[in-house]
């Protein structure tokens, strides 16, 4: 009988400040997701593996660290780009993630780890591409790659993303793995190639307007290699488009101002004349007028 042997998640992006599109208490929303993950782990009695970016910034406050010690389930992660100071592992000891190593988080960095009698996993942090050969005890096991790298499918997330980072190219690059789990791209998708599968989990939180209809999820891996998704509970109507309208209005005001600057009839650049006009249109004390006029030499 098959059993669930691991839970996979990615891009938790824990942070104190809410993204501009969110209208709710963002940290409370994160807390509810972590509680769901903790309850799921306790129910299934298996390890949680995370594909990187626990934090949104590598430098975090003591209060956010306390929040993580209190709310994160016991989990194994790799280092994502947001967890890595200056994108350089030489400075990793300065990061918030390094502190979590003393609590609920274990790091799987460029090494193999056994999940079960039939499965093992390799952790590849952001920026690394080479795989160390597995130990002799792991050779006959089925293999999972846990990697934080840009991966896309069907449509590039931005124009300059390399063609070589599409899902099928990554599957071809690492033929020794039965399953590849990627983080970094906040969207969700699965791609199969010659009997092997790449799963991009997607982010835990909806942090931009393009994720208005996004359904955050975790992946449950069964002992036979099959998998299914479990979806985080989400609140409706907490991703707002209002800030886009505000930015649009701001742009319109800037454009109008620029038009006025180029129109001599609508914008008088005579500073002294404008000062006198202000005095004429407003009730200003005589002493204040004298001081202002003395300062401008009028």
% pLDDT > 90, the chain: 68
Cβ-based burial of 56 (10 A; exposed 0-12, middle 13-18, buried ≥19): buried
Query: What's the pLDDT at 254?
Result: 62
Same domain, 163 and 262: no
Residue 250's H or E segment, with its range, is: helix 242-261
- Cβ atoms of 154 and 200 within 8 Å: the answer is no
Looking at 231, 251, 280, the residue that finishes a domain is: 231
Same domain, 222 and 246: no
Residue 237 belongs to some domain of the structure: no
Query: Helix or strand or coil: residue 229?
Result: strand
Same domain, 108 and 174: yes
Same domain, 180 and 284: no
Query: What's the pLDDT at 145?
Result: 98
* Total structural domains within the chain: 2
More confident residue, 2 or 202: 202
Query: What's the pLDDT at 72?
Result: 97
Phi, psi of 22 (to 5 degrees): -90, 140
Ranked by mean pLDDT, the top range of 156-160, 183-187, 291-295 is 183-187
Same domain, 179 and 262: no
- Cβ atoms of 88 and 63 within 8 Å: the answer is no
Under the banding of pLDDT at 50, 70 and 90, the label for residue 22 is: confident
- CA 203 vs CA 24, 41, 158: distances in Å: 18, 18, 17
Closest CA to 114 of 132, 136, 141, 133: 141
Query: What's the pLDDT at 291?
Result: 81
More confident residue, 138 or 42: 42
Cβ-based burial of 189 (10 A; exposed 0-12, middle 13-18, buried ≥19): middle
Residue 200 belongs to some domain of the structure: yes
Cβ-based burial of 32 (10 A; exposed 0-12, middle 13-18, buried ≥19): middle
Residues paired with residue 198 on neighbouring β-strands, in sequence order: 180, 191
Domain hosting residue 268, numbered range:
242-295
Lookup: tokens for 280:
């004429």
Closest CA to 58 of 80, 73, 75, 78: 80
Query: What's the pLDDT at 250?
Result: 57
Same domain, 79 and 186: yes
Query: What's the pLDDT at 90?
Result: 92
Looking at 182, 197, 231, the residue that finishes a domain is: 231
Query: What's the pLDDT at 244?
Result: 56
Query: What's the pLDDT at 94?
Result: 96
Query: What's the pLDDT at 240?
Result: 75
- Arithmetic mean of pLDDT, 138-142: 86
- Arithmetic mean of pLDDT, 5-19: 96
Same domain, 186 and 290: no
Task: Identify the CATH number of the domain in which residue 105 sits.
Answer: 3.60.21.10
Residues paired with residue 50 on neighbouring β-strands, in sequence order: 9, 77
Q: Give the other-Cβ count within 10 Å of 84's Cβ.
A: 22
Q: Indicate the range of 27-36, 137-146, 269-278 predicted with least confidence.
A: 269-278
- Arithmetic mean of pLDDT, 20-40: 94
Closest CA to 233 of 11, 17, 39, 7: 39
Query: What's the pLDDT at 120?
Result: 96
Same domain, 169 and 275: no
Same domain, 182 and 291: no
Total-model pTM: 0.80
More confident residue, 212 or 160: 160
Looking at 184, 212, 231, the residue that finishes a domain is: 231
Q: What is the pLDDT of residues 225-277, one digit of tens each?
A: 999 999 999 988 888 776 555 545 655 566 665 666 555 555 555 667 777 77
Q: 60: Cβ–Cβ under 8 A, 6 or more apart, which residues? A: 96
Q: Exposure pattern of 2-22 as b/e (b: 16+ CB <10 Å)?
A: eebbbbbbbbbbbbeebbebb
- DSSP secondary structure, 179-226, as one string: EEEEESS-S-EEEEETTEEEEE---SS--SGGGTT---EEEEEETTS-
Pairing of strands 4-9, 217-222: antiparallel
Same domain, 258 and 211: no
Query: Helix or strand or coil: residue 96?
Result: helix
Residue 236 belongs to some domain of the structure: no
Same domain, 213 and 74: yes
Query: What's the pLDDT at 298?
Result: 60
Same domain, 187 and 226: yes
- Arithmetic mean of pLDDT, 177-205: 97
Residue 178 belongs to some domain of the structure: yes
For residue 61, is pLDDT > 80? yes
More confident residue, 251 or 148: 148
For residue 213, is pLDDT > 80? yes
Query: What's the pLDDT at 11?
Result: 97
């Amino acid at each position: 009988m098959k059993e669930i042997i691991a839970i996979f998640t990615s891009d938790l992006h824990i942070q104190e400040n809410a993204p501009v599109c969110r209208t709710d208490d963002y940290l409370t929303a994160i807390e509810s997701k972590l509680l769901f993950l903790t309850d799921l782990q306790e129910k299934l009695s298996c390890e949680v593996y995370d594909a990187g970016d626990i934090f949104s910034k590598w430098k975090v406050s003591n209060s956010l660290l306390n929040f993580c010690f209190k709310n994160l389930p016991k989990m194994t992660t790799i280092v994502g780009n947001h967890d890595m100071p200056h994108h350089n592992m030489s400075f990793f000891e300065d990061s918030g993630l390094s502190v979590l190593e003393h609590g609920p988080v274990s790091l799987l960095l460029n090494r193999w780890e056994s999940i079960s009698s039939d499965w093992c996993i390799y952790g590849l942090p952001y920026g690394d591409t080479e795989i160390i050969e597995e130990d002799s005890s792991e050779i006959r096991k089925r293999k999972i790659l846990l990697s934080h790298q840009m991966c896309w499918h069907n449509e590039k997330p931005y124009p300059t993303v390399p063609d070589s980072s599409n899902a099928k190219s990554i599957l071809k690059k690492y033929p020794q793995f039965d399953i590849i789990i990627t983080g970094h791209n906040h969207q969700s998708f699965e791609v199969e190639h010659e009997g092997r599968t790449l799963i991009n989990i997607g982010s835990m939180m909806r942090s931009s307007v393009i994720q208005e209809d996004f359904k955050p999820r975790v992946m449950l891996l069964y002992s036979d290699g099959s998998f299914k998704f479990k979806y985080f509970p989400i609140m409706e109507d907490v991703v707002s488009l209002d800030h886009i309208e505000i930015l649009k209005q701001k742009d319109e005001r800037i454009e109008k101002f620029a038009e006025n600057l180029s129109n001599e009839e609508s914008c008088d650049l005579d500073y002294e004349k404008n000062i006198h006009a202000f005095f004429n249109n407003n009730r200003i004390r005589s002493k204040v007028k004298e001081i202002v006029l003395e300062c401008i030499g009028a």
